[in-house]
């Protein structure tokens, strides 16, 4: 089995997906815009360096030329900006995989909502916009509060909540670089993910994670220590409608083999509302959370599923797992930490990962990465205990920069 894998170097978790492919016996031909280091090369059978990885037409032409005379079985990607490139190459080379039209349904947020709504599922009211005049007309129809975000964005980049005409007027100049956007109804409620590994579009592994606070607040307020908590018990009544919503969205959009990451809301009245979905793994540690939940390796299982259409890991869920991201106060280099020793004294047996930047490290741009200045991961079979530890990490551990 030989596959082309787009961007094995970046984002950092793509290295793990490259490893996963190699460990299930796949020859991995990587394509990226930089040179792989020695560790990554262990998992690669070949590598094509391209000047601009996000120049879709150029990458497709270069890969097509590179592969002349060689047989491959799949073109794969696990990073949002390259899903369409992989689909176009798959079609051009006549290989099995999700079509361009299918992937477009996962990338184009308005088309996505139309297809999910057509299946009878609850989605926010939304309109596609490509000009300032379009935005004003859409907001008049949808009303305040509203959300404005790129039509094919990822995460919460360039995503804004507006509650008045005055706020909208202030936001619009910041979106001039966005060619197409979506203006949609703001949904108030608890925000969750529905993450799956699918074979032929059917989930063979399911996971739910709660965001504390919601994703937009995580991305827009620097003082917040964002928390993501994976749920051990998926049979809880308040989660089941969201899981059914996710299964319906996968069917409506024609999911194939691989991982999918969906966000959804549970409103105060109990109604579950679709947010958006991608036909790729969740980023910012979501796969790590899932791995810690069941002591499995979903990077490897992803490789097995996309090449062998088979899932081999146990599906038992052992723990609730919380990942708490920290942002230093101040700018420059990390100069001090407080509360971490006390946190270890209280919860050491349940701490499974600590990537917090230590003094002397340069602070990261919190707007560019949810990973911020590092994170703590804790887990426990009891939800209340896991939540207690997560809140303690969020409120009692502090990083300072100067």
Q: Tens digits of per-residue pLDDT, 123-171?
A: 999 999 988 889 899 998 999 999 998 887 665 567 888 999 999 988 8
Strand-strand pairing, 181-185 and 146-150: antiparallel
User: Quick one: pLDDT at residue 155?
Assistant: 55
- Decide if 396 contacts 343 (C-beta within 8 A): yes
Distance of CA 371 to the CA centre of its chain: 12
User: Quick one: pLDDT at residue 156?
Assistant: 58
Write out the CATH class of domain 187-318.
alpha beta
Bridge partners of 27, per DSSP, are: 2
For 192-236, the pLDDT digits (tens) are 999 999 999 999 999 999 999 888 888 778 889 999 999 999 999
Write out the CATH class of domain 2-97.
alpha beta
User: Quick one: pLDDT at residue 151?
Assistant: 80
Distance separating alpha carbons of residues 302 and 256, to the nearest angstrom: 12
Whether the predicted pLDDT of 237 surpasses 60: yes
- Decide if 225 contacts 395 (C-beta within 8 A): yes
Work out the average pLDDT over 62-88.
96
User: Quick one: pLDDT at residue 288?
Assistant: 97
Sign of the four-CA dihedral 200, 203, 209, 215? positive
User: Quick one: pLDDT at residue 216?
Assistant: 82
User: Quick one: pLDDT at residue 220?
Assistant: 78
- Decide if 399 contacts 328 (C-beta within 8 A): yes
Q: What percent of the chain has a predicted confidence (pLDDT) above 90?
A: 82
Bridge partners of 317, per DSSP, are: none
Picking from 293, 263, 248, the residue whose alpha carbon sits closest to that of residue 192 is: 263
Give the pair of three-digit tokens for residue 120.
């009878």
Whether the predicted pLDDT of 81 surpasses 90: yes
Distance separating alpha carbons of residues 145 and 93, to the nearest angstrom: 45
For 274-321, the pLDDT digits (tens) are 999 999 999 889 999 999 999 999 999 999 999 999 999 999 999 999
Distance separating alpha carbons of residues 13 and 16, to the nearest angstrom: 5
User: Quick one: pLDDT at residue 355?
Assistant: 97
**Backbone angles phi and psi of 197, in degrees to 5:** -110, 125
User: Quick one: pLDDT at residue 105?
Assistant: 97
Give the pair of three-digit tokens for residue 123.
């989605």
User: Quick one: pLDDT at residue 176?
Assistant: 81
Instruction: Print the SS3 string covering the chain.
Output: CEEEEECCCCCCCHHHHHHHHHHCCCEEEEEECCCCCHHHHCCCCEEEECCCCCCHHHHHHHHHHHCCCCCCCEEECCCHHHHHHHHHHHHHHCCCCCCHHHHHHHHCHHHHHHHHHHCCCCCCCEEEECCHHHHHHHHHHHCCCEEEEECCCCCCCCCEEECCHHHHHHHHHHHCCCCCEEEEECCCCEEEEEEEEEECCEEEEEEEEEEECCHHHHHHCCCCCCEEEECCCCCCCCCHHHHHHHHHHHHHHCCCCEEEEEEEEECCCCCEEEEEEECCCCCCCHHHHHHHHHCCCHHHHHHHHHHHCCCCCCCCCCCEEEEEECCCECCCEEEEEECHHHHHHHHHHHEEEECCCCCCCECCCCCCCCCCCCEEEEEECCHHHHHHHHHHHHHHCEEEEC
- Decide if 329 contacts 399 (C-beta within 8 A): yes
Q: What percent of the chain has a predicted confidence (pLDDT) above 70?
A: 99
Q: Greater confidence, 335 or 174?
A: 335
Round to the nearest angstrom and report the end-to-end CA distance of the chain. Answer: 51
Domain ranges, ordered by start, for the chain: 2-97, 125-185, 187-318, 320-402
Q: CATH: 3.40.50.1000, 3.40.50.1820, 3.30.1490.20, 3.40.430.10. Which one for 125-185?
A: 3.30.1490.20
Least confident of 45-49, 159-163, 242-246, 304-308: 159-163
For 350-392, the pLDDT digits (tens) are 999 999 999 999 999 888 888 899 999 999 999 999 999 999 9
**Backbone angles phi and psi of 269, in degrees to 5:** -85, 5
What are the strands of the beta sheet with 2-6, ordered from one edge?
46-49, 27-32, 2-6, 74-76
Picking from 351, 193, 379, 211, the residue whose alpha carbon sits closest to that of residue 291 is: 379
């Amino acid at each position: 089995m030989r596959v082309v894998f787009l961007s094995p170097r970046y984002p950092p978790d793509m290295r793990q997906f490259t490893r996963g492919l190699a460990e299930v016996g796949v020859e991995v031909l990587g394509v990226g815009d930089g040179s792989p280091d020695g560790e990554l090369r262990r998992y690669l059978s070949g590598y094509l360096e391209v000047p601009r990885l996000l120049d879709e037409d150029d990458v497709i032409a270069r890969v097509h030329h590179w592969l002349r005379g060689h047989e491959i079985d799949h073109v794969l990607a696990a990073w949002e900006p390259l899903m369409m490139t992989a689909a176009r190459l798959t079609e051009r080379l006549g290989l099995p995989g999700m079509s361009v039209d299918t992937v477009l349904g996962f990338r184009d947020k308005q088309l996505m909502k139309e297809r999910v709504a057509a299946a009878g599922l609850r989605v926010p009211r939304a309109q596609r916009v490509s000009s300032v005049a379009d935005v004003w007309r859409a907001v008049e129809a949808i009303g305040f509060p509203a959300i404005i975000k790129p039509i094919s964005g990822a995460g919460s980049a360039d995503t804004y909540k507006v509650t008045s005409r005055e706020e909208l007027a202030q936001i619009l100049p910041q979106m001039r670089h966005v060619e197409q956007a979506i203006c949609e109804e703001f949904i108030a409620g608890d925000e969750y993910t529905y993450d799956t590994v699918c074979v032929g579009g059917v989930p063979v592994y399911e996971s739910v994670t709660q965001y504390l606070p919601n994703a937009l607040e995580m991305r827009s307020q620097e003082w917040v220590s964002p928390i993501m908590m994976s749920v051990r018990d998926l049979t809880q009544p308040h989660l089941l409608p969201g899981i059914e919503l996710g299964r319906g969205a996968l069917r409506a959009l024609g999911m194939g083999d691989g991982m999918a990451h969906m966000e959804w809301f549970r409103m105060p009245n109990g109604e579950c509302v679709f947010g958006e979905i991608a036909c790729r793994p969740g980023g910012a540690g979501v796969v790590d959370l899932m791995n810690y939940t069941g002591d499995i390796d979903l990077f490897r299982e992803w490789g097995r599923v996309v090449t062998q259409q088979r899932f081999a890991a146990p599906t038992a869920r052992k723990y609730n797992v919380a990942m708490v991201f920290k942002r230093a106060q101040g700018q420059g280099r990390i100069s001090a930490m407080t509360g971490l020793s006390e946190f270890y004294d209280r919860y050491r047996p349940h701490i499974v990962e600590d990537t917090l930047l230590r003094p002397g490290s340069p602070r990261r741009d919190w707007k560019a990465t949810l990973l911020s200045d590092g994170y703590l991961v804790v887990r426990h079979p009891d939800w209340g205990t896991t939540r207690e530890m997560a809140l303690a990490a969020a409120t009692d551990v502090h990083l300072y920069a100067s």
